[in-house]
């Protein structure tokens, strides 16, 4: 059986978070482009002096050095922008990576049977509906556990009467518990 | 603003920046690859056009030209604008794809938890998209599987206790053991 397609009305991302991230990306590119422009402007704004031959040779020399100049400029641009992008990805996307890591830790504790608290994310963290859905499931499981124990303890109260009634109620209780547990498949 | 899942009155201060090499590193690599490609393309186009512009200007050197910048200004500005626009647009598209991939992967996990609340602990998450979310989906499956096996074991135990017909002195310890094990469900 396949799971139905995701149809959760709660947004996983805050609108502001996405816009801020895109804006920062654009700012990084704008800064990189400005740096690239500044390098070219600095290199190409030396005045051409002298007569026709002087200008001709200056421009010919510039053409010769154009390839390494462009290569170094592009390298500077790439390093600047990639550095900014890496920092942005680390500090921007940790609002998704952090909650995932937190969830993984809690799920690991659940698997190991360690007492676990409900998952709570930090201020500004994204994908919150995931924590709510997980807490909902664990909450339901805990409710069921309490109900099963309540059924068993309810049967134990009959032990104050005669042994036969006590036994009958206990067997009935475990039968009901087993039936109730059957809803998990 | 406090997140709804955070306990009331508790303000968490963000001190630890968690880094997931697969998720953040992958996103940074993807975007950086486009920046590199854009840079290389820009370099090639600028080399061709600016080189041509300088060569043509050299042949017409008797015209008054103050700086080489004046010769290449138009071509350079066009290419810079093109580089900025192309790389920005592509990066925004990649980011939106990333958001979509997170939505699909996390959305699947949310559906799985909601199904688990209704008792379905066996349908796999099958989170597609990014590898990181497929791995997360597998962890969700493992957790649900572990809960299911625990409940199934308890159910068998309860059913066998209900039908065992053991004498009271043997029945009581099994009853207590079952209670102890039930207490360990979702501790």
Please give the pLDDT value at position B164.
Answer: 80
Measured CA to CA, the distance from residue A95 to residue B67 in angstroms comes to 49
Interface residue B61 vs chain A (CB under 8 A): yes
Residue A134 and residue A106 share a domain: no
Query: A108, A126, A144 — which closes off a domain?
Result: A126
Mutate to test the interface with A, among B39, B129, B176 (most CBs of A within 10 A): B39
Tens of pLDDT along B69-120?
988 999 999 999 999 999 999 999 999 999 998 889 999 999 999 999 999 9
Q: Which tops the pLDDT comparison, A57 or B117?
A: B117
Angle subtended by helix axes A15-44 and B68-117, to nearest 10: 160
Chain A residues with CB-CB distance to B151 below 8 A: 181, 184
Q: Give the mean model confidence (pLDDT) for residues B35-41.
A: 95
Residue A95 and residue A24 share a domain: yes
- Terminus-to-terminus CA distance in chain A, angstroms? 12
- What DSSP state is assigned to residue A2? P
- Nearest C-alpha neighbor of A167 from the set B124, B167, B157: B167
Instruction: Please tell me the distance in Å from B187's CA to the nearest CA on chain A.
Output: 4
Please give the pLDDT value at position B12.
Answer: 52
**CB-CB: which of B31, B59, B111 is closest to A85?**
B31
Residue A28 and residue A57 share a domain: yes
Interface residue B64 vs chain A (CB under 8 A): no
Question: Which residue's structure tokens are 């993984």?
Answer: A104
Q: What is the pTM of this model?
A: 0.80
The reply to whether residue B20 touches residue A135, judged by beta carbons under 8 angstroms, is: no
- Nearest C-alpha neighbor of B109 from the set B142, B78, B133: B133
Tens of pLDDT along A115-158?
877 888 888 888 889 999 999 999 999 999 999 999 999 998 88
Measured CA to CA, the distance from residue B70 to residue B155 in angstroms comes to 84
Chain A residues with CB-CB distance to B7 below 8 A: 120
Is B3 a residue whose pLDDT tops 60?
A: no
Chain A residues with CB-CB distance to B148 below 8 A: 184-185
Residue A165 and residue A150 share a domain: yes
Residue A118 and residue A72 share a domain: yes
A121 backbone dihedrals φ, ψ, rounded to 5°: -95, 170
Is A94 a residue whose pLDDT tops 60?
A: yes
Instruction: Please tell me the distance in Å from A134's CA to the nearest CA on chain B.
Output: 6
Residue A60 and residue A85 share a domain: yes
The reply to whether residue A127 touches residue B123, judged by beta carbons under 8 angstroms, is: no
Whether residue A1 lies inside any domain: the answer is: no
Chain B residues with CB-CB distance to A6 below 8 A: 103-104, 107-108, 110-111
Interface residue B17 vs chain A (CB under 8 A): yes
Residue A41 and residue A122 share a domain: yes
The reply to whether residue A110 touches residue B146, judged by beta carbons under 8 angstroms, is: yes
Across A57-66, B1-10, B146-155, least confident range: B1-10
The reply to whether residue A66 touches residue B47, judged by beta carbons under 8 angstroms, is: yes
Residue A140 and residue A50 share a domain: no
Interface residue B162 vs chain A (CB under 8 A): yes
Chain B residues with CB-CB distance to A12 below 8 A: 102-103, 106-107
* Cα A8 versus chain centre, distance: 17
Residue A151 and residue A112 share a domain: no
Measured CA to CA, the distance from residue A89 to residue B79 in angstroms comes to 27
Predicted confidence band at A114 (pLDDT cuts at 50, 70, 90)? confident
Give yes or no for a contact between A98 and A105, defined as CB atoms under 8 angstroms apart.
Answer: no
Which domain does A163 fall in, by range? 129-185
- What DSSP state is assigned to residue B67? -
DSSP SS3 for B26: helix
Residue A112 and residue A137 share a domain: no
Please give the pLDDT value at position B132.
Answer: 86
Is B187 a residue whose pLDDT tops 80?
A: no
Residue A118 and residue A29 share a domain: yes
The reply to whether residue B18 touches residue A33, judged by beta carbons under 8 angstroms, is: no
In this structure, how many other beta carbons lie within 10 angstroms of the beta carbon of residue B26?
A: 17
Query: A126, A147, A165 — which closes off a domain?
Result: A126
The reply to whether residue A141 touches residue B186, judged by beta carbons under 8 angstroms, is: yes
- Terminus-to-terminus CA distance in chain B, angstroms? 30
Give yes or no for a contact between A21 and A88, defined as CB atoms under 8 angstroms apart.
Answer: yes
Residue A139 and residue A118 share a domain: no
A30-48 b/e with 16+ CB inside 10 Å = b? eebbeebbebbeebbeeeb
Across A44-48, A173-177, B36-40, least confident range: A44-48
**Count of domains for chain A:** 2
């Amino acid at each position: 059986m396949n799971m139905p397609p995701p149809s959760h009305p709660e947004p996983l991302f805050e609108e502001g978070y996405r816009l801020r991230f895109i804006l920062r990306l654009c700012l990084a590119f704008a800064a990189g482009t400005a740096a690239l422009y500044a390098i070219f402007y600095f290199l190409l704004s030396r005045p051409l002096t002298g007569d026709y031959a002087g200008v001709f040779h200056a421009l010919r020399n510039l053409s010769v050095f154009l390839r390494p100049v462009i290569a170094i400029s592009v390298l500077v641009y790439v390093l600047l922008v990639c550095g900014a992008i890496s920092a942005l990805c680390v500090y921007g996307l940790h609002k998704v990576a952090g909650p995932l890591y937190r969830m993984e830790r809690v799920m690991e504790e659940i698997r190991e049977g360690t007492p676990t608290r409900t998952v709570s994310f930090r201020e500004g963290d994204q994908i919150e509906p995931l924590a709510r859905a997980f807490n909902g499931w664990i909450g339901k499981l805990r409710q069921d556990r309490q109900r099963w124990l309540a059924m068993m303890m309810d049967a134990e109260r009959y032990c104050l009467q005669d042994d036969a009634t006590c036994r009958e109620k206990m067997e009935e209780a475990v039968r009901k518990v087993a039936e109730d547990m059957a809803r998990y498949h | 603003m406090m997140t709804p899942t955070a306990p009331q009155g508790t303000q968490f201060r963000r001190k630890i920046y968690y880094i997931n090499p697969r998720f953040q590193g992958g996103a940074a690599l993807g975007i950086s690859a486009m920046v590199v490609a854009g840079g290389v393309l820009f370099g090639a186009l600028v080399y061709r056009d600016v080189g041509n512009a300088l060569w043509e200007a050299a042949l017409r050197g008797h015209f008054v030209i103050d700086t080489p910048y004046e010769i290449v200004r138009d071509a350079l500005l066009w290419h810079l604008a093109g580089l900025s626009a192309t790389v920005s647009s592509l990066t925004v598209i990649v980011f939106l794809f990333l958001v979509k991939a997170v939505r699909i992967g996390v959305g699947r996990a949310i559906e799985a938890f909601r199904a688990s609340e209704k008792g379905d602990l066996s349908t796999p998450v099958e989170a597609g998209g990014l590898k990181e979310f497929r791995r997360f989906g597998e962890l969700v499956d493992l957790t649900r599987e572990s809960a299911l096996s625990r409940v199934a074991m308890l159910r068998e135990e309860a059913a066998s206790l209900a039908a065992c017909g053991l004498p009271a002195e043997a029945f009581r310890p099994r009853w207590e053991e079952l209670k102890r094990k039930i207490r360990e469900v979702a501790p």
